Structure 1
């Protein structure tokens, strides 16, 4: 089997002659009005029709990447399948994608990170003729320096399944997420503008309940919306129109829009470095206790700021310890070190970690946001308010208290089951409820060591 996926729609969706294609893309980018660079773009939503139809709209997003040209080294690209049915998200079997502008290497390490997610499969046929991903590549090849691509053809999947994939691949400033999607299809111009206006409003509100009449890429967009809320991204609408504005007739149009989702530059800039530092800090502290030596200190100003964390240890995929702090009451560095030691040696569910296990454990550090109370009148309201795969939840009743990190949704995806086991963890019956129950929620940013 070939390790190269050749261009399938060159010559139809965009020019197949390299010089003509480069000139066309360069001109589209140059003609973007108000195309000043943005400096903290984490994700884009762009259309995927032929360039004469949607190229100017896509360009309005790609033109904003100039300031991040040398920073972005990986693009996670998701688009809907149009020709092959897929249950879940499909990776290609190739090692490179090719356009008239050259080859794009695929991110094999990133693909390996997804191997344990049941919703991710390999399906060469899903990629063979799929245009939603391919048409983005000439833009990316023009506006970025060297980068690796991780393409996923998205079929029948839930928003939570897509969000889980994005969380696994989130990375830091080196990773850009691109969602490929058109808006409404084949409506009269006036109707399309009304429908697309509602879709734009939903995306700006980070609404994760779009349907496929609103956007053909509703599934990957919804997954991005879940992840964007969790990471505090801010959506910016860059341009919107339909095919009657570019090269089509007004009685049967397709809608196009472009969005950038920006991160808080101050919070996101050290994201990858922050994760690596916290993981190193946790492992070193555990090692220092096993071998009775002082862990090497790490001097960073942000480690001295108050923070609340959980440290989770796994061994061969099974939980080996998990201890954490719900409220920030000491410097983050001290909190991570203390919780690492507690997870390794003082979790009452497990025997203390031994030296022989040290190399086999994987460390995960979760940094918690401030919790917010959930004002709910009864259990039904509580269940309706929970956001699966987003919320960490604290349950309190008198002296009974428990919490589940958002990661627990992976084992308990149903809100009824999630809340029932949370009550059991607090030492109460799984069907318990009382007027005095208090719930609060928080989100986490997590980093996990990758197996060697």
Structure 2
């Protein structure tokens, strides 16, 4: 079995299994949100001390529906490696301090054969945006397979088409991983992020990289959601100046459910 090792344990989340389990369990307990079952959620991907509470609000939404989810597809940006198109990894398992989680190698192979994605282990090797979602998925323990997809510079229609193909598979949840504006002063960041949240509320796939680092995955999802007549439900927002950082150079975080 090919195993993808953790790249950011001890940096973006605790290395200690016990400490990590307690932290994520407390985040979920402190950020409970209820509602109907989402087709997709949007979550941030900073260190858990910065954005974990915002992410937990979205994850708590899926907790009642875990028996109805057999596959989770993670989609987010490639921060460390320039990427055109969309990339999966070759691994069968992904390890964090909480153990291993099974990857959907079968669907990954199908999408690769259909030339919708490529295998690019280099892009995935040190990427954090999808890995920081795994502790939440492991603590929820839904018994699902996970398919990680990095979305580089890709036309909106291609991302939307991939999502449509993926959602042909039953019992599938999409998770879009994206932070919002980066490194502005607090009030300026709030203004930029308010405009971005309004675009998400209206399902407008016109978000730029300076508004959201995961804009390519997010715009593809918004285009698909608008075409399917889905609704966006705002769950939470904050920035790093509200949690564990100063207010001179903040990063914005938001979570949504789509149904």
Contact 2:90–2:105, Cα closer than 8 Å, also in 1? no
Aligned equivalent of 1:331: none
Aligned equivalent of 2:97: 100
Cα distance in 1 for residues equivalent to 2:136 and 2:160: 25
Cα distance in 1 for residues equivalent to 2:217 and 2:50: 22
Cα distance in 1 for residues equivalent to 2:151 and 2:217: 7
Cα distance in 2 for residues equivalent to 1:173 and 1:246: 37
- Which structure exhibits the higher relative contact order, with contacts defined as CA atoms closer than 8 Å and separated by 6 or more residues? 2
Cα distance in 2 for residues equivalent to 1:240 and 1:117: 37
Aligned equivalent of 1:129: 126
Task: Establish whether residue 252 from structure 1 lines up as the match of residue 236 from structure 2.
Answer: no
Q: Secondary structure at the match of 2:195?
A: helix
Cα distance in 2 for residues equivalent to 1:201 and 1:5: 37
Q: Which runs of 4+ in 1 moved over 4 A?
A: none
Contact 2:181–2:252, Cα closer than 8 Å, also in 1? yes
Cα distance in 2 for residues equivalent to 1:44 and 1:145: 16
Corresponding residue to 2:142 among 141, 145, 166: 145
Question: 1:139 Cα deviation (Å)?
Answer: 0.5
Aligned equivalent of 1:232: 229
What are the Cα deviations for residues 166-224 of structure 1, in whole angstroms up to 9, with x where unaligned?
11101366110001000000000000000000000000100001000000000000000
Corresponding residue to 2:173 among 148, 173, 176: 176
TM-score of the aligned structures, taking structure 1 as reference length: 0.56
Aligned equivalent of 2:63: 66
Q: Secondary structure at the match of 2:199?
A: helix
Aligned equivalent of 2:28: 29
Cα distance in 1 for residues equivalent to 2:169 and 2:180: 29
Cα distance in 2 for residues equivalent to 1:235 and 1:144: 26
Number of corresponding residues = 259
Cα distance in 2 for residues equivalent to 1:66 and 1:124: 30
Question: 1:67 Cα deviation (Å)?
Answer: 1.4
What are the Cα deviations for residues 97-149 of structure 1, in whole angstroms up to 9, with x where unaligned?
11111111111221133124445111011111000000000011112410101
What are the Cα deviations for residues 389-423 of structure 1, in whole angstroms up to 9, with x where unaligned?
xxxxxxxxxxxxxxxxxxxxxxxxxxxxxxxxxxx
What are the Cα deviations for residues 228-251 of structure 1, in whole angstroms up to 9, with x where unaligned?
112221110100111000011111
What are the Cα deviations for residues 44-64 of structure 1, in whole angstroms up to 9, with x where unaligned?
110000011001110111011
Aligned equivalent of 1:15: 14
Contact 2:76–2:177, Cα closer than 8 Å, also in 1? yes
Contact 1:60–1:239, Cα closer than 8 Å, also in 2? yes
Question: 1:37 Cα deviation (Å)?
Answer: 2.5
Cα distance in 1 for residues equivalent to 2:88 and 2:202: 30
Task: Establish whether residue 6 from structure 1 lines up as the match of residue 5 from structure 2.
Answer: yes
Contact 2:94–2:101, Cα closer than 8 Å, also in 1? yes
> Structure 1 residues 201 and 106 mapped into 2: Cα distance closer, same or farther (>3 Å)?
same
Aligned equivalent of 2:200: 203
C-alpha RMSD of matched pairs (Å): 1.3
Q: Which moved more, 1:39-48 or 1:165-174?
A: 165-174
Structure 2 gap segments, 5+ residues each: none
Aligned equivalent of 1:76: 73
Task: Establish whether residue 186 from structure 1 lines up as the match of residue 214 from structure 2.
Answer: no
Contact 1:37–1:66, Cα closer than 8 Å, also in 2? no
Q: How does 1:337-352 map to 2 (within 5 A)?
A: none
TM-score of the aligned structures, taking structure 2 as reference length: 0.97
Aligned equivalent of 1:52: 49
